[in-house]
């Protein structure tokens, strides 16, 4: 039964986890996708023995999952409100630390959004505007606030379509199904999106600050690697990456 034997062997190989290497899992908001990838790569090249898995998704979903015992060691939320609530309920092993301020932009794949302002959205040529679902996505909430503050909400609401998260919203725009979207600056500066159309930074006076924060979860209490990675986020190198991807760091001004 040679095939069976080799199959068993493969199974063992798959199950065999190198016992010595430490490994953590990071849950990160979707807007961090590009910045976090680069930071993790840099961290790994400095610490080749350490394993870091990053899962990107909706901040709200992560909060629910952590409360239900999800195996995340660090939680980077797009809205600092979520980790604060978790900390209050005892799911955190660190204090809640702000790591960035998010900014929102108008972005289009077919029009030159760099020439736009909020008022341009009323143009009848624009039939669909994509924003993240304000009901649960932090960027969506800020988009709604900006539209309301500009006095455009009532007028534009029929044109709005709602993405499940900020990446999904960008997808609506990228495929041309919505002419314009309000998305995270961090996504708009990524080369793949930046190569098409342009973006216009929405003034942060039009919305509440999009304060982003993280915690080390209760599960990772005393986990040295988790602690080290959290510290690494405050390093000069990591901060430079964050700025590069359009995040405003706590205590600094918009670097745009």
Partner 1 sequence: MLLSGSDMQAIWLTVKLASIVTVILLLVGTPIAWWLVRTGSWWKGPIGAVVALPLVLPPSVLGFYMLLAMGPDGPVGHLTRALGVGPLPFTFWGLVIASVFYSLPFMVQPLQNAFEAIGDRPLEVAATLGASPLDAFFSVVLPLARPGFLTAVIMTFTHTVGEFGVVLMIGGNLPGITRVVSVQIYDHVEALEYGQAHRLAAVMLIFAFLVLLALYAWRPDAKKG
Contacting residues toward partner 1, per CB under 8 A: 58, 60-61, 63-64, 110, 128, 130, 133, 135-137, 161-164, 168, 171-172, 175-178
Q: Which is nearer to partner 1, 39 or 166 (CB)?
A: 166
What are the C-alpha distances in Å from 247 to residues 5, 34, 95, 96, 159? Answer: 52, 11, 21, 18, 28
Question: What is the spatial distance between Cα 158 and Cα 173, in angstroms, rounded to a whole number?
Answer: 17
CA 118 to chain centre: 23
Q: Which is nearer to partner 1, 50 or 164 (CB)?
A: 164
Smallest distance, partner 1 to C-beta of residue 138, A: 11
Smallest distance, partner 1 to C-beta of residue 92, A: 17
Q: Which is nearer to partner 1, 62 or 245 (CB)?
A: 62
What are the C-alpha distances in Å from 112 to residues 15, 21, 120? Answer: 51, 48, 11
Smallest distance, partner 1 to C-beta of residue 163, A: 8
Q: Which is nearer to partner 1, 59 or 186 (CB)?
A: 59
Smallest distance, partner 1 to C-beta of residue 161, A: 3
What are the C-alpha distances in Å from 144 to residues 41, 125, 134, 181? Answer: 35, 21, 7, 12
């Amino acid at each position: 039964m040679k095939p069976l034997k080799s199959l068993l062997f493969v199974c063992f190989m798959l199950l065999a986890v190198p016992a010595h290497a430490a490994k953590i899992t990071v849950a990160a908001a979707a807007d961090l996708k590009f910045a976090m990838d680069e930071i993790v790569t840099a961290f790994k090249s400095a610490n080749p023995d350490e394993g870091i898995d990053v899962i990107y998704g909706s901040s709200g979903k992560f909060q629910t999952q952590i409360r239900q015992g999800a195996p995340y060691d660090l939680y980077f939320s797009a809205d600092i409100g979520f980790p604060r609530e978790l900390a209050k309920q005892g799911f955190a092993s660190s204090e809640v630390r702000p790591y960035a301020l998010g900014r929102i932009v108008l972005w289009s794949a077919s029009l030159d959004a760099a020439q736009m302002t909020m008022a341009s959205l009323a143009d009848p040529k624009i039939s669909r505007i994509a924003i993240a679902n304000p009901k649960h996505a932090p960027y969506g909430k800020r988009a709604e606030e900006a539209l309301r503050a500009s006095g455009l909400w009532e007028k534009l609401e029929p044109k709005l379509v709602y993405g499940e998260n900020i990446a999904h919203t960008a997808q609506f725009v990228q495929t041309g199904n919505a002419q314009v979207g309000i998305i995270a600056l961090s996504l708009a500066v990524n080369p793949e999106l930046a190569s098409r159309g342009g973006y216009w930074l929405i003034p942060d006076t039009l919305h509440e600050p999009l304060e982003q924060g993280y915690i080390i979860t209760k599960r990772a209490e005393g986990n040295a690697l988790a602690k080290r990675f959290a510290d690494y986020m405050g390093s000069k190198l990591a901060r430079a990456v964050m700025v590069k991807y359009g995040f405003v760091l706590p205590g600094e001004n918009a670097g745009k």
